[in-house]
Structure 1
Amino acid sequence: MSYLQQLISNSVLITALIGWFAAQVLKMILVWDKKKFDFKRIIGSGGMPSSHSSFVMALTMSIGFTQGFDSGAFAISAVMSFVVMYDAAGVRRSAGQQAAILNKLVESVMNADFSKTEKRLKELLGHTPIEVFAGAILGVIIAIIRYV
């Protein structure tokens, strides 16, 4: 079996990718303007639900279902999932809040002249705890649907 065939047949990876994709599509639907879809949401970060959380929890649960919830691979994946989710709701969310404040400072002090900073800083970086939780639940549900 070739490497590409192995990759395509990796159900754990496919489940994780489905978790990510489902969250991104849900984001697009939830921010849908009646005139058009915001296709930037399909690759953007931040918002409801957290695609990072859905991605890592679908991965973790898939490993649990395929290799056992008592396996070392599951333990590693679970720990890394919690790190990713903590980061999404903590560090990345704080960075987004700081970007919003810096953008307001540039607007007020420099009369919105972003030429010195090249452009507005991206404000939608992280997630609220609810967005992280919703993404995690989505990932768990997707893995359950695929394996149970």
Structure 2
Amino acid sequence: MDDVSASSSSSSSIFRNYALISALISFLLAQSIKFFTAWYKDRRWDAKQLIGPGGMPSSHSATVTALAVAIGFQDGFGGSLFATAMILACVVMYDSSGVRLHAGRQAEVLNQIVFELPAEHPLADTRPLRELLGHTPPQVIAGALLGFLTASIAYLIDKAISQ
């Protein structure tokens, strides 16, 4: 019986995990914002924006920033857990605005080259590469700000509920 109560206790604690919830909410908010900004920009609904990479704001940046900030609020900003989360956030944001952004730009060029090939060329009917892979620095900054705000608001809500 103790195992059952311990199991239900640990499974219910995941729903009270402030850092995890902050990160997930931040991800969902960023993806939702992308969906609506794509509609505003193109005047058409694009469901791929709900799950796809790239776009404004960066959901990667929002997620890892919310996680790091939530850990900082919960466990302190001087601990090794926060340091680990902060380094992870920096690596993810650097990667999304560096390597992945440039890989997407290379995909654009390659797609254009393949498009211009004569029909009889063996690569002429190659499926296009995904071009929207990374983020511009403003998209990364917007995602980080969204993550910070999400974790901060979630912290205030968590504190209010806990009292």
1:16 aligns with: 23
SS in 2 for 1:134: helix
CA deviation after TM superposition for structure 1 residue 39, in Å: 1.4
1:55 aligns with one of 63, 72, 75: 63
The structure with more radius of gyration: 2
Residues 31 and 5 of structure 1: is their aligned pair in 2 closer, same or farther, counting only changes over 3 Å? same
SS in 1 for 2:39: coil
TM-score (norm 1): 0.92
Instruction: Tell whether the 8 Å contact from 1:114 to 1:120 is kept in structure 2 after alignment.
Output: no
SS in 1 for 2:116: helix
Distance in structure 2 (CA, Å) of the matches to 1:35 and 1:76: 41
Q: Percent identity?
A: 45
2:110 aligns with: 102
2:74 aligns with: 66
Distance in structure 2 (CA, Å) of the matches to 1:86 and 1:73: 20
Distance in structure 1 (CA, Å) of the matches to 2:118 and 2:73: 55
Amino acid at match of 1:10: N
Residues 70 and 97 of structure 1: is their aligned pair in 2 closer, same or farther, counting only changes over 3 Å? same
CA deviation after TM superposition for structure 1 residue 11, in Å: 1.4
Q: Deviations over 1:18-69 (max 9, x none)?
A: 0100000000010116865211101000000000000000000000000000
Distance in structure 2 (CA, Å) of the matches to 1:14 and 1:108: 47
2:98 aligns with one of 90, 94, 114: 90
1:79 aligns with one of 78, 87, 90: 87
1:45 aligns with: 53
Q: What is the RMSD of the two structures over their aligned residues, measured on CA atoms?
A: 1.8
Aligned pair 1:29/2:36, yes or no? yes
Instruction: Tell whether the 8 Å contact from 1:19 to 1:54 is kept in structure 2 after alignment.
Output: yes
Residues 74 and 104 of structure 1: is their aligned pair in 2 closer, same or farther, counting only changes over 3 Å? same
Distance in structure 2 (CA, Å) of the matches to 1:77 and 1:67: 12
TM-score (norm 2): 0.83
Q: Which has the higher helix share?
A: 2
Distance in structure 2 (CA, Å) of the matches to 1:107 and 1:41: 24
Residues 114 and 136 of structure 1: is their aligned pair in 2 closer, same or farther, counting only changes over 3 Å? farther
Instruction: Tell whether the 8 Å contact from 2:38 to 2:44 is kept in structure 1 after alignment.
Output: no
SS in 2 for 1:46: coil
Aligned residues: 146
SS in 2 for 1:29: helix
Amino acid at match of 2:102: S
